[in-house]
Structure formats: C-alpha cells, structure tokens
Amino acid sequence: MTRLLLAATCLGVTIAADAAAQRTTSAYVPSAAVWERKAPEQVGMDAAKIQEAIAFAKERATQAPRDLEEAHYQTFGREPFGNAVGPFKPRGEPTGVIVKNGYVVAEWGEPARVDMTFSVTKSFVSTVVGLAVERGLIRSIDDSVFRYVGPILHATTPSLANEGGRGRFDARVPIEPFETPHNRKITWRHMLQQTSDFEGTLWGKPEWADRPSNTPATWWTRERMAPGSTYEYNDTRVNALALATTVVWHRPLPEVLNELVMTPIGASSTWRWFGYDNSWIVLDGKLIQAASGGGHWGGGMFISAYDMARFGLLTGRNGKWGTKQVIPESWIRESQKPTSAQPTYGFMNYFLNTDRKPMPSASASVYWHLGNGTNAIIVDPEHDLVVVTRWIQGNALDGLMQRVLGALRGTP
C-alpha cells in the first residue's frame, strides 16, 4: 500500500509538472505584427480596479522637467565631470501598459512612443552577458574580467581629445581598464552585482564622479574595498562591463541584442541603444560605438513601453517566448539571486522584493527592471503579470502594484 501511495504521489507530481510545462509552451505570446487585447474580465481582473490603478499612476506623475537634458543638469549634471556626452530626448506623457497572460489588458499615455529608459538599459547589458556565457564566450562569470579584455584602441577624434583635457584618452594609447592590481581581481559576477569597486576613468568619467561622496579629499585616494564586499550603484562601472562585453562579442551590443532577443520576441524596429560621443573604439579593424549602460550622462536605451513590456514578459516566463528559449532559464534564475552585499539586488538591473521590504504589497517573487524617471518593468511571474509604468514618482510603485494586484484578488 505504501508503495502504491508513493507511486500515485509521484505520478501526480509528474502530471502536474507536465501540465505546468504544457501551459508554458502553449502560453500566448504576441507576434511582431499583432498584440491581442483582452478586457480585464476575460483574464480574471476587475476592470474598475484597473481604472483605479491607472488613475493612481497618472496622479503620481513625476514633476521633473519634460526636457530630460534640463533634468540632467538639475541633478546628475551638477556632479564633477557631470557634462552630458550622450543624446537626450524630451519625454512624453505618463505612460503604462498592463499585460496579463500575455494579453494587453490596459494601457495609458503614449505606449508606442520611444523615450529614454535610463537604467533599464542595465538589464539589457546583463542579458547580453548571459548570452555570451551560454555560447561559451565567457567560460564562467566567476572568471576575472581582465583575462578576456586585451588593449582597446580608443577612437577619440582630436576635437574630443582636446576638450576639457583631464580624463580624456589619447587615441594612440590603448585603453586597459582592468589592468590595475585591484581591477584584476574583479569577476564578471562582481560587475553584474555592482560589487566590484572598479577603479578608473572611462569615457572621461572617473568612477568616483558618479554620485560622489561628501569627502572630496578621498575621491582619488581612498582604499579600495575587496570585490564582492560592497555594493555601489555606479554607471562608469556599468559602462566598463558593457565595453568588456563588446570586446567578448567582437560586435556592437545593440546588434547582438537585436539578433538574439528583440527580433525573436517581435519587438518593434523603433528602439535604439546609444553610446556616447566619445565611446568609439576600433575593434577588429572596424569603428564601433561602445553602448552605455544607462542614461546618467545621456545615451542608453531609447524604447517604447510596448517593447519594454515584451522584454518583461520574456524574463517573467524564464526567458522563453512561445516554444523558443531566447534567454537561458538558468541565467534568468541566476539574475534573481540576491546579492550578499545588497539582498534586494540581483544582476543588473533586477531589483528584488526580498522579504517584501521594497514592495510590501507584492509577493517576494516579484522583481522589476528600474530606471530613472521613473521607468519600471514590474514582473510578477506567479500571476503571469507585467506592469510597465513610465514617468511616475519612484515612491508610487508599491501603491500602483497594490491596486493592480487588488484587481486580481477574489477573482478566478
């Protein structure tokens, strides 16, 4: 009898697992040409409560200037070396998209409009790193980065080389960003988790100049922390990771992303991933612009809310799009492991709801890709739910999710 019960239990688990796999395989994904809409009630949501969530998002719109270059110089532009070196674009209306079971159930603002997405770009950086690991271009994320990055010729024009003087590279002197005793110890994992304490200047921006400390005397001289021991959100370091990844691929990262991710998921042709005016390198005899990891000094990913939602749907379904595994499932899982030095952060830019502290209204499995603005792709894998919100106050994300999730509760 015990054996029979055990066999029956195992059979039940197997059937449940097979059913879950079947649901994943048969789950709706939009084509490149058509994204189907469904009324909230058709996917078990309350339409009135969805409208309350949309009204809340609109009421909590950011008060920052619509001219994002002006906004830059009111904030990050006041930092040392804070001058813009990449493009900016005036933003649109407060915007959002709600996707349930793959279907668009609500939208507001200008979801087809291409806008800056700032640090959501970092999630695309970590994605192309994961794809390099899958293909063996990076053997292990616990390898030291410097072993993969040889001298890089910086294709600085004379006008750029003479502009401002300090912090610029001579085009005749190769860049070797990981060739210091400290930087040689940095692994891909440290860079992905923003725990590297990378030292140096890249594209004219010293790492200390991004959100600098209040003690200027230590900016150039402080003792370095052991890689992995301290978390610090820093765009110069993200740019160093993007540069290293470009070298590994021997291709521009936007080209890699387009071929391996954005085209397979049916994204539009309107998104753009920019670098800086001075982030050009010569690689394999070709002139390539190294993409930036965010919009701190301009540049980064310019993208629509619809395409953001497609990316969120992809990561929320463990990297699978219909029957195609676009991003390795193992990489999605690895990206969501808490960083020991910052438990609410995984791989850039996966913000985690560890212990439900950052977003109390949502479950611990919820995570979000986040950028300044606020730009957010909030993913709830448990409910097959994606919420994109743009140009909302940062402290309003939990309130928005509370209302969206409230539309699910008590429904089939």
36-73 tens-digit pLDDT: 999 999 999 999 999 999 999 999 999 999 999 999 99
153-170 tens-digit pLDDT: 998 654 444 444 344 445
Distance CA 131, CA 147 (A): 18
What is the pLDDT confidence band of residue 7, given thresholds at 50, 70 and 90?
very low
Instruction: Answer with the residue of higher pLDDT: 5 or 402.
Output: 402
CA 78 vs CA 132, 137, 202, 243, 374: distances in Å: 36, 39, 19, 25, 20
Distance CA 240, CA 245 (A): 9
Residue 380: which H helix or E strand, with range?
strand 375-380
Residue 371: which H helix or E strand, with range?
strand 367-371
Question: What residue type is assigned to position 356 of the chain?
Answer: R
Report the pLDDT averaged over residues 265-291: 96
Residue 402 dihedral angles phi and psi, to the nearest 5°: -60, -40
Cross-strand partners of 103: 100
Lowest pLDDT segment from 15-19, 138-142, 172-176, 284-288: 15-19
193-243 tens-digit pLDDT: 999 999 999 999 999 999 999 999 999 999 999 999 999 999 999 999 999
Domain range annotation of the chain: 34-115+302-406, 122-258+275-291
Question: What residue type is assigned to position 182 of the chain?
Answer: H
Query: Considering the chain, what percentage of its residues have pLDDT values greater than 90?
Result: 88
pTM recorded for the entire structure: 0.91
CA dihedral 88, 94, 99, 104 (to 10 degrees): -100
What is the per-residue pLDDT for 25? 54
Distance CA 327, CA 335 (A): 11
List the one residue out of 188, 190, 192 whose CA is nearest residue 228.
190
**379: exposed, middle or buried (C-beta count within 10 Å: 0-12, 13-18, 19+)?**
buried
- What is the CA angle 362-363-366, rounded to 5? 85
Cross-strand partners of 44: none
382-406 tens-digit pLDDT: 999 999 999 999 999 999 999 999 9
